[in-house]
Amino acid sequence: MKSPIINADNLNVHYGSIHAIKGISFQVNEGEVVSLIGANGAGKTTTLRAISGLVPSSGKLYFQDQDLSKVPIFKRVELGIAQSPEGRGVFAQMSVQENLEMGAYSRKDKAGIKKDYEMCLELFPRLKERLWQMAGTMSGGEQQMLAISRALMSKPKILLLDEPSLGLAPLIVAQIFEIVKKLNQEGMTILLVEQNARMALKISHRAYVLETGKIVMQDSAANLLNNDEVRKSYLGI
């Protein structure tokens, strides 16, 4: 059995008086793709932000065997946690190349950086054609490719992917998901938040269903794809 990279036990997040995440427990094992699915406002993005350290949380949250409660955001990146955020969040006034360089800001291994840079351009040939283009002038699909690549440039042990298909044309969505699948086949552990539950479950090993800040269901992705309740609520079948 592979060991857990992320282990959350009774995780809570409050936004002022709003209890956004209500004591959830879950884990992501090495080499898995795990999806969080649920309606808007269920707490999926907040869960990722808690792991990244972008929102304060309580309860137990471990990365490998390290307690994250006192680890600042930048140190979490150095440990191996990288997030490709919802809305992409590229540096609009910087070129593609500069965005990729920013992804590797915490690294000193020049040979490794060069290797990962070349890997990203191989994964996303579109970026290679646009190295000196300002990121803010690119299409949504290209920005998504850049956001994922920038996260990969930090050499993560786990990639947190938040709504990679949001606002993209179906053809681009299919390409993005193929690349996510390929990354996992090459050994990357991925925690995926995705509105397109069907696509997410098709490339995942396991998934958790969130409703109003609570986990209401968890199972293998294959079982959830065939679960009548999930099909009716999230797959539109």
User: What single string gives the DSSP state of each residue in 137-188?
Assistant: GS-HHHHHHHHHHHHHTT--SEEEEE-TTTT--HHHHHHHHHHHHHHHHTT-
Residue 236 has pLDDT above 80, yes or no: no
Q: What is the distance between the alpha carbons of residues 210 and 212, in angstroms, rounded to a whole number? A: 7
Residue 53 has pLDDT above 80, yes or no: yes
Give the pLDDT score at 184: 96
Q: Which residues make Cβ contacts (< 8 Å) with residue 196, sequence separation at least 6? A: 165, 173
Residue 146 has pLDDT above 80, yes or no: yes
Q: How is the chain split into domains, by residue range?
A: 1-80+159-164+189-237
CA distances from 173 to 116, 140, 168, 187 (A): 23, 11, 6, 21
Give the pLDDT score at 232: 86
Please state the rounded mean pLDDT for residues 41-57.
Answer: 95
Please state the rounded mean pLDDT for residues 129-144.
Answer: 94
Give the pLDDT score at 233: 86
Please state the rounded mean pLDDT for residues 203-215.
Answer: 96
> Which option is the CATH number for 1-80+159-164+189-237: 1.10.357.10, 3.60.20.10, 3.30.70.360, 3.40.50.300?
3.40.50.300
Task: pLDDT band for 1, please (50, 70, 90 cuts).
Answer: low
Please state the rounded mean pLDDT for residues 12-39.
Answer: 96
Task: pLDDT band for 164, please (50, 70, 90 cuts).
Answer: very high
**Span between the terminal Cα atoms of the chain, in Å:** 34
The helix/strand count (H/E) of the chain reads as 10, 10
Q: In the beta sheet, which residues pair with residue 111?
A: none
Q: What is the distance between the alpha carbons of residues 120 and 215, in angstroms, rounded to a whole number? A: 34
Residue 136 has pLDDT above 80, yes or no: yes
